[in-house]
Amino acid sequence: MSKLLVIGETRDGSLRNVTFEAIAAAKKIDSDGEVVGVLCGNGELESQANEMVYYGADRVIAIKHDNLKTYTSEGFGQAIMAVINDESPAAIVMGHTAIGKDLTPKIASKLEAGLISDATDIEVDGDKVVFTRPIYSGKAFEKKIITSDITFVTVRPNNITAFDRDESRTGEISSKDVEVTDIRTVIKDVIRKVSEGVDLSEAKVIVAGGRGVKSEDGFKPLQELADLLGGAVGASRGACDAEYCDYSLQIGQTGKVVTPDLYIACGISGAIQHLAGMSNSKVIVAINKDPEANIFNVADYGIVGDLFEVVPMLIEEIKKIK
């Protein structure tokens, strides 16, 4: 039986949802393979390990070390390489996140293995596994296969459906001692400038604002709408450049790439750089005063009107339904 490693990623003590999607992706690569979760940290990892089992992992290896308190590519790289050397996996899967984009190329290089990054779909064609990934800022897609001995892939959040959580599932949870040395980077403190609530990159609903919000206060109704829908607030670069919001909210070619179930664009013209970050959303709703705005070319539903009139109306209607 082949082994498939899934590298788990935590944030604030909880597993990111893309970890569960990576487990489902591993099963797509080899439905008969053994999915082995890997967690790194310096504290309690048992609850996160159990969650990986509930979402489909067959067993989980927890690596604890003081040098794994916060992420560094050197520390995590050493720990995960030790597991790879022991397990000899046929595939390694991780989320295409900031950490995934930093860590996986370094491990792949050491293994002299090919790496499929930002996969949005996985299909089995006979004895081949075909990966789909976007190119040219999402304007096109390519299909690729791995020819090296190890299949190495990162999956884009919100594209591969995770398995249902099942607390009846059981799996072995073991700890592994790894010597993590020669750390040249020391993290003294982590200061995050992110919005509260739902993680933007994993949000199922995003309400985004552009220059049309006109001010920092203009984002308040967008935040109210996002809260009602259980989503997150995003922004175009124009809104960030105008200092209406922090750059941590930026969506686009030079910001975050998101694929929510519902994307509501408010006062966003639809520059190609912004579309590169959100055009693969499942449903796009555009609200703009300009009927010729480019955002309407990619929108599934368009509302021509003042966002400061339309958004409050949406909020009231949603409150009635709830």
Known binding residue 122? Answer is: no
Backbone angles phi, psi at 320, to 5 degrees: -65, -40
Known binding residue 10? Answer is: no
Known binding residue 211? Answer is: yes
pLDDT in tens, 209-239: 999 999 999 999 999 999 999 999 999 999 9
Opening angle at CA 256, ends 267 and 316, nearest 5: 40
Known binding residue 267? Answer is: yes
Known binding residue 117? Answer is: no
220 contacts: CB under 8 Å, gap ≥ 6:
none
Known binding residue 279? Answer is: no
Known binding residue 254? Answer is: yes
pLDDT for position 194: 54
Known binding residue 250? Answer is: yes
Known binding residue 272? Answer is: yes
Known binding residue 236? Answer is: yes
For residue 227 the two structure tokens come to 């809260």
pLDDT in tens, 148-181: 889 999 999 999 999 999 999 999 999 998 888 8
pTM recorded for the entire structure: 0.87
Known binding residue 268? Answer is: yes
Known binding residue 269? Answer is: yes
241 contacts: CB under 8 Å, gap ≥ 6:
none
pLDDT for position 193: 62
Give all domains of the chain, ordered by start, each with its CATH number. 3-176 (3.40.50.620), 200-321 (3.40.50.1220)
pLDDT in tens, 90-138: 999 999 999 999 999 999 999 999 899 999 999 998 889 999 999 887 7
